[in-house]
Structure 1
Amino acid sequence: MSLLSFLFKGQSLPDEIQILDREEYKKAISKGKVQLVDVRTKGEFMSGHIKGAKNIDFFQGSAFDNAFSKINKEKPVYLYCQSGNRSQRAARKLVKMGFTEVYDLRGGYRTWSY
């Protein structure tokens, strides 16, 4: 068993969540109007974000839940954060809320902007 599989055992992603690398993500969100959400803080969002993204801060608790309750659960949602950690946590939460197709940017915004 590798160290990574040991550290992350039991943390496999639900089928509804897919992690896309930067090029796959860019191609997917360029296909027209998508539900693109930056789950970073407002300050992080204001310092730079992917064009067309809506900012819904993962750390805002009930405001996060309320904002996602207004988003179509039947359509794909594309998430990202700074490094990929928060957006994976957000993706798991969205699946519990009933979202059926969630995509996450591998490595987060820091991989997008280089």
Structure 2
Amino acid sequence: MKELSQKEWKEQYENDNNSFLLDVRTDEEYEEKHIPNSTQLDIFQAQKFMDEINELDKSKNFYVYCRSGKRSAQACQILDQVGAANTYNLQGGITEWEGETNAN
């Protein structure tokens, strides 16, 4: 796992042709605001989270975020343990995100 600043994470994600954008917050948080094209898997739903993580293409570069960066750091560690090639945690989470967001 690499901890990336907001600027580094955004630039790297936007220039990565093998990226997978993962939001590990709750359904409610995701509906409130999320980064476009992200896939949401709630890390608090442990079994479902693990089942879904195991189905993902581990050769992808995972760009992971949450509200503040703590849950996403945990998710990056889990992804690393199940064989993900590269994981990148967004420092400060969506709270500090200055890029584009969507709300449902």
Deviation of 1:98 after TM superposition, in Å, equals 1.4
Residue 18 of structure 1 is matched in structure 2 by 2
Write the distance in 1 (CA, Å) between the matches of 2:84 and 2:19: 14
Runs of 4+ in 1 over 4 A off after TM superposition: none
Residue 31 of structure 2 is matched in structure 1 by 46
Tell which has more relative contact order, 1 or 2 (C-alpha 8 A, sep 6+).
2
What is the aligned residue count?
98
Alignment identity in percent? 33
Indicate the RMSD between aligned Cα atoms, in angstroms: 1.4
The alpha-carbon distance between structure 1 residues 91 and 37, as it changes in their structure 2 partners (threshold 3 A), is: same
Q: What letter corresponds to residue 37 of structure 1 in structure 2?
A: L
Structure 2: 5+ residue runs without aligned partners? 100-104
TM-score by length of 2: 0.87
Equivalent position to 2:63, from 60, 70, 78: 78
Deviation of 1:22 after TM superposition, in Å, equals 0.8
Secondary structure class of the residue paired with 2:44: helix
Residue 102 of structure 2 is matched in structure 1 by none
Name which one, 1 or 2, has greater alpha-carbon Rg.
1
Deviation of 1:100 after TM superposition, in Å, equals 2.4
Residue 97 of structure 1 is matched in structure 2 by 82
TM-score by length of 1: 0.80
Residue 54 of structure 2 is matched in structure 1 by 69
Write the distance in 2 (CA, Å) between the matches of 1:57 and 1:33: 22
Q: What letter corresponds to residue 57 of structure 1 in structure 2?
A: D
Residue 30 of structure 1 is matched in structure 2 by 14
Secondary structure class of the residue paired with 1:103: strand
Equivalent position to 1:57, from 26, 31, 42: 42
Write the distance in 2 (CA, Å) between the matches of 1:76 and 1:42: 23
